[in-house]
Amino acid sequence: MWDWIVDILFQILKLIQGFAVDWGLSIIILVLIIRLLLTPLLLRSTRSMARMQVLQPKLQEIQQKYADDPQKQQEMMQKFYSENKFNPLGGCLPLLIQMPILFALFTLLRNLPSYFPGVETSAFSFYNILPDLTMVPSQAFANDPVTAIPYLVALVLFSVLTLIPTLLQSRNQTGSQAQSMRVMAVVMTVMMLWMGWGLPAGVLLYYDVSSLWQVIQQQLVTRKVTEKAKAEEEARMASAPIEVDVVRRERQARPHKKS
């Protein structure tokens, strides 16, 4: 099942490389195509996350109110999601779509020389900036620390460009939630350094360009979409009818007067 995804990715890259000539440039073009295709979905996801920020106090209220009854709590939260037409997993969809592409690209670059028997790995380069896109930073550093500098730069960008978007998002949060996001961002940065140490340079290039696109888009487009979506949701919540819990008391029989 996984092989056909890798084969499709190979055919797309091979088609792009036919006119781009350079494999690194082909990967960059692939990033741009995927990012453009995902833009409508990303904007929808952004609106969903903005609405979640507005709805969060109400969700916390439900969680506290039914803290002693998990089943009732889950039922009320599902009802709340349904009434507000909200999908809690909507914000994760763009990431979930991109993950198979990253894994497929990792598999493809690791085995790319086998697709072209007799061709040197130096043919799979990015204008000699990254001389071998199949090379991993750890191997490049072991061969020659000086020539490994471009690979190490790609690795550092791999981690830093993971940190920046989360830090930008944390500005929209307050208190402990903002602090938790910053701590998570630092932990993820360290993890990405560790993971990237063994990833092919082509995967690092793909992720770096994709993350850079995300940062620019976040500053130019996403922030405005978030502010607009939050304002619309706050206005909708303000005009929504107020729900009042009414507890009916059982009517007690009146005492009969003694004659």
Nearest C-alpha neighbor of 9 from the set 132, 100, 89: 100
Q: What dihedral angle (degrees, nearest 10) is formed by the CA atoms of 191, 101, 93, 218?
A: 70
* 139: helix, strand or coil: helix
Q: What is the pLDDT of residue 247?
A: 43
Q: Alpha-carbon torsion 164, 165, 168, 170, what sign?
A: negative
Q: What is the pLDDT of residue 217?
A: 80
Q: What is the pLDDT of residue 141?
A: 92
Q: What is the pLDDT of residue 19?
A: 84
Q: What is the pLDDT of residue 213?
A: 87
Nearest C-alpha neighbor of 157 from the set 189, 118, 179: 189
Residues whose CB falls within 8 Å of the CB of residue 158, separated by 6 or more in sequence, listed in order = 192, 193, 196, 199, 204, 207, 208
Instruction: Specify the pTM.
Output: 0.74
Q: What is the pLDDT of residue 259?
A: 46
Cα separation, 127 vs 208, in Å, equals 16
Nearest C-alpha neighbor of 147 from the set 135, 158, 156: 135
Burial of 26 (0-12, 13-18, 19+ CB in 10 A): buried
Burial of 258 (0-12, 13-18, 19+ CB in 10 A): exposed
DSSP 133: T
Cα separation, 52 vs 91, in Å, equals 9
Over the chain (259 residues), the average pLDDT of each successive run of 10 is: 79 86 89 86 76 75 79 81 67 69 82 76 82 91 91 91 75 66 80 89 90 82 71 69 46 52
**Do residues 169 and 198 lie in contact, with contact meaning Cβ atoms separated by under 8 Å?**
no
Residues whose CB falls within 8 Å of the CB of residue 219, separated by 6 or more in sequence, listed in order = 168
Q: What is the pLDDT of residue 258?
A: 52
DSSP 259: -
Q: What is the pLDDT of residue 92?
A: 63
